[in-house]
A and B are shown apart, each in its own frame.
Chain A
Amino acid sequence: MTLLFGIPLSVMLGQLLLGLINGAFYALLSLGLAIIFGLLRIINFAHGALYMLGAFAAWLGLNYLGVNYWVALLLSPLLVGAVGMAVERHLLRRIAGEDHLYGLLLTFGLALIVEGSFVKLFGVSGASYPMPELLKGGHNLGFMFLPSYRAWVVVAALLVCIATWYMIERTRLGSYLRAGTENPKLMQAFGINVPLLVTLTYGYGVALAAFAGVLAAPIYPVSPTMGANLLIVVFAVVVIGGMGSIMGAIVTGLAMGLIEGLTKVFYPQAASTVVFLVMVIVLLFRPAGLFGKEA
């Protein structure tokens, strides 16, 4: 058996693959945060709650309306995205241009209200979302047993991340978006409806969170606190990647998943803190983050 740092190579491969799967979730969530921060300059603390809403929308749809997983994967982000757009239009818009703190407090407050109401309604034990038939079971890769669903999570998350990156960096709509970030007044003078663009962007970022929520539903318990637990790590990922950097969020998300995966083998006790350790080191040497532009 080949050993790497005293650990069999096969075990290492398995752990790296698992890290990649977790990284895919981080990437998806931090991407949404990065987009929202990039255009709206809002530190969206409601992101975790919206991720939870996405999972619950799928669960409620299945149990009360018979909506299956694949439909929910499309419908739930649309629904939660619409909620996000309403929030942007009626609440966030009022504090646009104010200090970052206002946005942070507003979204944090919203998250507390939403999560509190769900605890009241559904309790904290969480509910179970059944695995879709098509993705039950798994494959023996030789070095580990890989459940099909987890493989699907990586593929789906990466596809969505890359599509989003392409849309923002390589299309006309994306160029409007980026220009709107640089100079909204000028864009408006060119006849672009910037407020609409802002609403749509927030809606899209939120929809990404909801999409991640639906992806997570069959693996993790669908519970009101599922988002709150994840949010802080995801923020650390965004900070490491560089606030507002699209590619930074994706790459860092995956990388942090891998680093966390390795920590779970070598020193599991530190698994929940290693991301913050990396954050501290990165901030010391590159205050704007790995992919951020120095101000």
Chain B
Amino acid sequence: MKVFKKTASAMLVSSLIAGTAQAQVSDDEIRIGYLADMSGTYRDLAGPGGLEALKMAVEDFGGSVDGKKIVVFNADDLNKPDVGANTVRQWVDERNVDMVTGLVATSVVLAASKVVEQADKLALISGAASSSITNEYCSPNHIHWTYDTYALANGTAKAVLAAGGKSWYLLTADYAFGHSMEADISKVVKEGGGSVLGSVRHPFPSNDFSSYVLQAQGSGAEVIALANAGADTVNALKTASQFGVTQAGQKLAGMVVFLNDIHAMGLDVTQGLMLTTGWYWDMNDETRAWSRRYFDRFGRMPTMAQAGVYSATTHYLNAVKATGSDATATVRAQMAATPVNDMFAKGGQIRTDGRMVHDMYLAQVKTPAESKGEWDLYKIVSTIPAQQAFRPLADSQCKLVTGKVAQN
């Protein structure tokens, strides 16, 4: 009996191995992992809402690609790089997951994408901000989809400069992300003929911004830029409004601002704020139709990160369908060869460095009088063409672009 069992299991294993060698889609299933902060600071910008968008993409495909079932796993990374990396390792080792998406905090993304690269799988990053993901940390195994710090600083700072704000003061979150944001903004401001009068680096996260706002107020700068994100930005904006910053003629420029932040603060506080966004639900009939569908399921309007998850997943599944394979290199090549044309982007291109370049939008937050509903929050002021929005490949430090292996 024992012998029989052993033989049987050996036969099973060998048939499985033979099976994978022949079949184009591994395990006859397309396996997707959704990794995001599901419970902390970044929960509302991607979180459970991003998982819902992913499920929509899968359902819109009928749950399978040419008879191969699409299976979705999800996990909370708690904004901890070790948790994120271990989860992804488990997914690729034990469940043979083909693609990982969501991916919010930059620190988690960098840790998780290392694992993805080692296992030669694919990561489609929608939530994270840092432009270093496709610069010094670029990889053939990940694609950065929705936005990045370069595009945001570039879009917003240029627009504010053009509107006449020449002298700047920066409120910077005192960690890696804030510092790179500060550098990005300073560069744009100086190149645009403006000057940076000073900056204050506040601890991350900070509860009370009144002191920093007062310092910014005292600097006499025309523009106060917020090189921080999430709750810090919300806090800084709220405080600035109480201390009469905008009433006194100073302008505020938020760099990383999401729809959920504006929704949380309300228009009284945020009206008139200029920001750059990768997508907004109320841009055209296509975005509205998709967002209504999303709203009916989830009860909130989607952020750009959540819409990005839908777009990235759909583009991925299309590539799997077109090639009949889920092998990373094949799918990655097919994805890059096909422009992204959906409700999220028109004519979007995936570059060698893994950056998906698409039009970005300069938006202004509506006044309470202009807004017609709970989620009617932005008006799109102008479109920033894809070629101008993102860091040009000529300035890239990415090893895939320069051909040089990184020094470290």
Chain A interfacial positions (CB closer than 8 Å to B): 11, 14-15, 18-19, 21-22, 116, 119, 123-128, 130-131, 138, 144-145, 147, 149-150, 219-221, 223, 225, 229-230, 261, 264-265, 268-273
Residue B201 at the A interface, CB < 8 A? Answer: yes
**Contacts A219-B242, A268-B203, A272-B206; A125 near B263 (Cβ below 8 A):** yes
Chain A residues, CB < 8 A from B244: 138, 145, 147
Q: Is the CB of A128 within 8 A of B264?
A: yes
Q: How many residues of B contact A (CB 8 A)?
A: 39
Binds A, one of B38-46, B158-166, B221-229, B328-336: B38-46
Q: Is the CB of A271 within 8 A of B202?
A: yes
Q: Is the CB of B203 within 8 A of A271?
A: yes
Q: Is the CB of A221 within 8 A of B208?
A: no
Q: Is the CB of B242 within 8 A of A123?
A: no
A150 to B244, CA, bound (A): 13
Name 8 A/B residue pairs within 8 A (Cβ), A-sorted. A123-B44, A124-B39, A220-B238, A225-B41, A225-B231, A229-B207, A265-B215, A268-B202
A278 to B263, CA, bound (A): 39
Residue B268 at the A interface, CB < 8 A? Answer: yes
Interface membership of chain B positions 198-235, coded 1 if the CB is closer than 8 angstroms to chain A and 0 otherwise: 00111101111011101101100000000000010011
A285 to B230, CA, bound (A): 40
Q: Is the CB of A150 within 8 A of B215?
A: no
**Contacts A126-B264, A138-B244, A229-B207; A221 near B39 (Cβ below 8 A):** no
Q: Is the CB of B269 within 8 A of A128?
A: yes
Residue B261 at the A interface, CB < 8 A? Answer: yes
Interface membership of chain B positions 173-202, coded 1 if the CB is closer than 8 angstroms to chain A and 0 otherwise: 010000000000000000000000000111
Q: Is the CB of A128 within 8 A of B265?
A: yes
Known contacts A128-B265, A223-B264, A271-B211; 7 further A-B pairs (Cβ under 8 A): A123-B43, A126-B231, A131-B242, A145-B217, A220-B207, A221-B235, A269-B203
Chain B residues, CB < 8 A from A138: 242-244
A261 to B212, CA, bound (A): 10
A257 to B224, CA, bound (A): 25
Residue B266 at the A interface, CB < 8 A? Answer: yes
Q: Is the CB of B235 within 8 A of A18?
A: no
Q: Is the CB of B207 within 8 A of A125?
A: no
Nearest CB to that of A14 among chain B residues?
Answer: B214
Chain B residues, CB < 8 A from A15: 211, 214
